[in-house]
Chain A
């Protein structure tokens, strides 16, 4: 398997590796995939309650180089975006950026799922209805 330079770069220098306090109300955690499938991604976001901007994003991934690169790239892209804006990221954008071959497309799907799961968790914690306008947010 030949990897694109961008995949190799993310593999060698993964961005935003780490763990956020999952009990914090500002933090949303997405854990997707399964060990049996050979891929597990955990993506975490810390959202500014006032602006709904994702100020911090961290990941840890068990998986192949493409899975690591997809999740590393996802953290780079969502940082600084509002949660609604981050939901606009599509797996196909990741495929394009990393030049993933067809057999690795599931890695990008998993990264998109991880973003959605993290945002979903944050919304649930903060009583934000799915697809509801940002103004309804209540912060404890």
Chain B
């Protein structure tokens, strides 16, 4: 009888469970919490209150945060609009531009591995008479720039393509995409949630007109996000999607989440100062994890471009092992899987399928998302544990046995159910 009761020793200084799912969310940096605390307690003013000191100090704090966010991405403070998070930012950008530029055209271009906040927003616009082109991606997860050039026509008003993918961490060629858009006079929006604070991102150098940002992906609080909206060369206008008191230069009404905004500002400030050091630290951890797994396991597959990738991302398929069963074996490590069984829809990851991977490879995928607070000891523990569980599950896997015998699994007649 084989048994999988874990035999991996927990190294000193490692506390279980280990969080390694930093693309989903990140823990709040203690320095961010410290900055927020006064605004959760005594400094409770409404930033829109113009006639007393409570309002003034709240407004001052918001403007400081606006500066901090703008500085991280090469923008000016006036170009930052606060929202409730990146889903709202993506909705506001795409719907707001579609509405504002309706007379110029009705064509929008996006790509298939976008976040649902972009894809579903585009789908809704299709119901309202807009035409949407969903560009495919190559096997490495990147779009083909020639496809983009061909897709732009005289009715195209907006191109929306993410900077970094949330599952496979690949970095789209946004600078070139932005250049093509500017040559054709098309607005370029990017969902920059995963890239900001992780690797350099500059709205001027990267030719970005509109960008969605999130607080909680960069060690800030949840419930706060921002939208960068370019004011010059070209000036971009956005039709408000929420009506009310006309906050945020009329683009987004609603009382500002002052503590959240302060936290997001501080998170951006820390990222600006520490990003370079942190990126090489994370790349080191990530490469160590990959090397350990590769040296002990066969039939593993890196999903998406290795070269154009966020430093903290490792998305790997352990072929012939089903992702949910693997997660069950490493239940003291928080990671996620592209397996159908882990999703609400019972469909494997559409991102992995878009790479042309078979469903079986998608079912076997694990996303490791390394972050600021992960340590080398944690990486070593996770690697050991994954190796042990994958080996155990492969002993149980009829597919692994068949593959080892040289049977071509694509030629087997399976009984789909």
Chain A residues in the interface with B (C-beta under 8 A): 1, 3, 8, 11-15, 17, 19, 31-42, 60-65, 67-68, 103, 106, 109-110, 113
| B348 lies within 8 A of chain A by Cβ | yes
Q: Could you jot down 24 A-B contacts, CB within 8 Å?
A: A12-B3, A14-B2, A14-B396, A19-B401, A32-B417, A33-B414, A34-B414, A35-B358, A35-B360, A35-B409, A38-B324, A38-B341, A40-B399, A60-B401, A62-B321, A62-B322, A62-B398, A62-B400, A64-B341, A67-B322, A67-B325, A103-B346, A109-B417, A113-B417
A38/B328 in contact, CB under 8 A: no
B325/A63 in contact, CB under 8 A: yes
B353-369 to A contact mask, C-beta < 8 Å, 1/0:
00000111001000000
B397/A60 in contact, CB under 8 A: yes
* Given contact pairs A12-B5, A62-B399, A35 touches B414 in the complex (Cβ within 8 A): yes
B325/A65 in contact, CB under 8 A: yes
Closest residue on chain B to residue A60 by CB atoms: B398
- Most chain A Cβ neighbours within 10 Å, of B4, B320, B322, B395: B322
Question: A19 to chain B: which residues have CB within 8 Å?
Answer: 401
* Given contact pairs A41-B398, A65-B328, A36 touches B416 in the complex (Cβ within 8 A): yes
Question: A62 to chain B: which residues have CB within 8 Å?
Answer: 320-322, 396-400
B4/A60 in contact, CB under 8 A: no
B-side interface size class: 35 or more
Nearest first, the 9 closest Cβ-Cβ pairs linking A and B are: A34-B414, A35-B360, A36-B359, A42-B398, A60-B398, A64-B324, A38-B363, A65-B328, A64-B341
B43 smallest CB distance to A (angstroms)? 41
Complex alpha-carbon distance, A60 and B394, angstroms: 9
A68/B5 in contact, CB under 8 A: no
| B165 lies within 8 A of chain A by Cβ | no
Closest residue on chain A to residue B363 by CB atoms: A38
B417/A11 in contact, CB under 8 A: no
| B277 lies within 8 A of chain A by Cβ | no
Supply 18 further A-B pairs (C-beta < 8 A) apart from A35-B358, A61-B396.
A3-B328, A14-B1, A17-B395, A32-B415, A32-B417, A33-B417, A35-B363, A35-B409, A36-B360, A37-B359, A38-B360, A39-B417, A40-B414, A62-B320, A64-B328, A67-B325, A113-B415, A113-B417
Question: B2 to chain A: which residues have CB within 8 Å?
Answer: 14, 17
| B83 lies within 8 A of chain A by Cβ | no
Question: B409 to chain A: which residues have CB within 8 Å?
Answer: 35
Complex alpha-carbon distance, A35 and B414, angstroms: 8
* Given contact pairs A60-B396, A60-B398, A64-B322, A36 touches B3 in the complex (Cβ within 8 A): no
* Contacts between chains A and B (CB distance < 8 A), count: 105
B73 smallest CB distance to A (angstroms)? 38
B396/A38 in contact, CB under 8 A: no
Question: B329 to chain A: which residues have CB within 8 Å?
Answer: 11
Closest residue on chain B to residue A30 by CB atoms: B415
Question: A32 to chain B: which residues have CB within 8 Å?
Answer: 415, 417
Complex alpha-carbon distance, A63 and B324, angstroms: 8
Closest residue on chain A to residue B416 by CB atoms: A34
Complex alpha-carbon distance, A62 and B415, angstroms: 14
| B339 lies within 8 A of chain A by Cβ | yes
Contacting A68 at CB < 8 Å: which of B348, B359, B396, B415? B396
Question: B5 to chain A: which residues have CB within 8 Å?
Answer: 12-13
B149 smallest CB distance to A (angstroms)? 35
Question: B398 to chain A: which residues have CB within 8 Å?
Answer: 31, 40-42, 60-62
B414/A36 in contact, CB under 8 A: yes
Question: B396 to chain A: which residues have CB within 8 Å?
Answer: 14, 17, 60-62, 68
Contacting B417 at CB < 8 Å: which of A13, A14, A60, A106? A106
Closest residue on chain A to residue B342 by CB atoms: A1
Question: B118 to chain A: which residues have CB within 8 Å?
Answer: none
Question: A61 to chain B: which residues have CB within 8 Å?
Answer: 396-398
Question: B346 to chain A: which residues have CB within 8 Å?
Answer: 103
Complex alpha-carbon distance, A14 and B3, angstroms: 7
Question: B325 to chain A: which residues have CB within 8 Å?
Answer: 11, 63-65, 67-68
B1/A33 in contact, CB under 8 A: no
Closest residue on chain A to residue B394 by CB atoms: A62
B417/A110 in contact, CB under 8 A: yes
A87 smallest CB distance to B (angstroms)? 18
B3/A13 in contact, CB under 8 A: yes
| B108 lies within 8 A of chain A by Cβ | no
